[in-house]
Amino acid sequence: MTDVEAAVVDAHRRRWALVLASTARVAGDLDLAEECVQEAYAAALTSWARDGIPDNPAAWLTTTARRRAMDAVRRERVFRSKLPLLIEPEPEEPADEGDMDEPEDAVPDERLRLIFMCCHPALAQEAQLALTLRLVCGVPTVDIARAFLVPETTMAARLTRAKKKISTARIPYRVPGAAALPDRLRGVLGVIHLLFTTGYTAPSGTSLMRTDLMDQALHLARMLRELMPDEREVWGLLALLLVTDARRATRVDSRGRLLRLEDQDRSRWDRAAIGEAHDLIVGGLRGGRPGRYVLQAAIASLYAEAPAYDQTDWPQIVTLYDALLKVWPSPVVALNRTVALARVSGPARALADVEELEKDERLAGYQYLPAIKADLLRRLGRARAASAAYRQAMELATNEAERVFLAEQLSDLEEADQEAGR
């Protein structure tokens, strides 16, 4: 890969959302904005090879994309002026080129505007989440399809319909007024959380994490707290991201191999982030029934604050999962609960719950179900059944680091089984 290609790839990973958000304001149409941004990145390969990589690649890409968008809008205006029988309202005048040099502190504002637009109540929540992954994260459609366990063609059609609905409903590209914020908060919280989890375990590729997406999500969560300082679920989301991100440096070893929670060096965890999360959780638990994100953060905090893995307060974690299932009855939550349940009531009791969850079609194709089942079967001494479950999890895994981890677990299991049989 050349220096120019590397610079373009880096700009795509780190600045896609900023460039797209800024261009969308000019274009007034998501499809047009996305097309102009893609053209700008393509143009960068040629221009930067000829003229050199600019000092501020994001500014170059933003300027190029916005100019292309303005040209397209002007062409459309000319076209409409020559068709007087076509009765449609005139599009807004595109922004002045002098407006292109935006202050650096406007970066999170642009992203948050884009998220609020994608989280309009007119769109189904699944469409909100998928559209944000595509536009804010720049995640390929095929990876979004994997996340939602649907074919790529199905997801592509859903994204197209969502963007058309934004266009035909003339949903404005802006953060709504204070009165409209609560109607969109659930979706906004969901997409920021999904943005973080997409970075925490990348849908595909050789690296376990995409730290650029994790950083974006943390910035957005902090900004959302400034925008809505009295919302306890906003505190909960920020706390959840902080306490989860605190383990970032220890999730893989020096070779990039995934490390289990019990094998991580707790002395390297970010204690300042864990402490900040703790204060947010305490505040979130006060004043009424806690919501989904406050409870998730409380669970993650118990894992993080334990002096050692075997000293984790497993009974309290099971209790919190029970409370979480009442406010968010998700099969994924029920599956995660089995990990703690195995420590409280034993692997056989947890395995019974996992086998019951296998009947839930919503978990069909969810790689962590056979992975958890394999671990429980291994602990019960059922090596052959555990091997089959590990193989199933490997087939479903799309991240190479996770696939390698599962392969190592399978290899260790089969080696131990062979030695036991000698």
- Greater pLDDT, 389 or 83: 389
pLDDT, mean of residues 402-414: 95
- Specify the pLDDT at position 113: 75
Question: Which pLDDT belongs to residue 226?
Answer: 87
pLDDT, average across residues 398-411:
94
Over range 79-86, report the average pLDDT: 60
- Band (pLDDT 50/70/90 cuts) for residue 79 is low
84 pLDDT exceeds 60?
no
Phi and psi at 149, nearest 5°, equal 60, 45
**Measured distance between the N- and C-terminal CA atoms of the chain, rounded to whole angstroms:** 50
pLDDT tens, position by position, 236-265: 999 999 999 999 999 999 988 999 999 999
Cα–Cα dist 109/111, whole Å: 5
Q: Which of 81-90, 211-220, 282-291, 335-344 has the lowest mean pLDDT?
A: 81-90
| Lowest-confidence segment of 114-128, 169-183, 363-377 by average pLDDT | 169-183
**Helices 368-379 and 347-357 sit at what angle, rounded to 10 degrees?**
150
Give residue limits of the domains in the chain.
3-78, 119-170+181-229, 268-324
For the residues 274-295, what does the mean pLDDT come to? Answer: 93
Express each pLDDT in 316-352 by its tens digit: 999 999 999 999 999 999 999 999 999 999 999 999 9
Residues 305, 311, 313, 318: what is their CA dihedral angle, to the nearest 10 degrees? Answer: 120
- Residue 57 — pLDDT band, cuts 50, 70, 90? very high
Give the model's pLDDT for residue 168.
80
Q: Taking residues 387-414, what's their average pLDDT?
A: 94
Q: Which amino acid is at 379?
A: R
Residues 172 and 100 sit within 8 Å (Cβ to Cβ): no
What integer is the mean pLDDT of 389-414?
Answer: 94
Partnered with residue 258 across adjacent β-strands are 252
Beta strands in 92-236 (DSSP E): none
Tell me the pLDDT band of 97, cut-offs 50, 70 and 90: very low
Closest CA to 414 of 376, 385, 392: 385
**Over residues 171-186, mean pLDDT:** 74
Mean pLDDT of 383-392: 96
What pLDDT does 107 receive? Answer: 34
What CA–CA distances, in Å, run from 383 to 342, 378, 394? Answer: 18, 6, 16
Report pLDDT for 119. 83
Of 100-109, 306-315, 343-352, the range with the lowest mean pLDDT is 100-109
105 Cβ contact partners less than 8 Å away, ≥ 6 residues apart: none
Q: Residue 103 — very low, low, confident or very high, per pLDDT cuts 50/70/90?
A: very low
Given a contact cutoff of 8 angstroms between Cβ atoms, the answer to whether 163 and 30 are in contact is yes
| Residue 283 φ/ψ, nearest 5 degrees | -65, -40
Q: How far, in Å, CA of 305 to CA of 279, rounded?
A: 13
pLDDT reading at 100 higher than 50: no
- Per-residue pLDDT at 310 exceeds 50: yes
Q: Taking 50 as the threshold, does the pLDDT of residue 101 lie above it?
A: no
C-alpha distance from residue 158 to each of 11, 35, 96, 198 (Å) = 27, 18, 34, 19
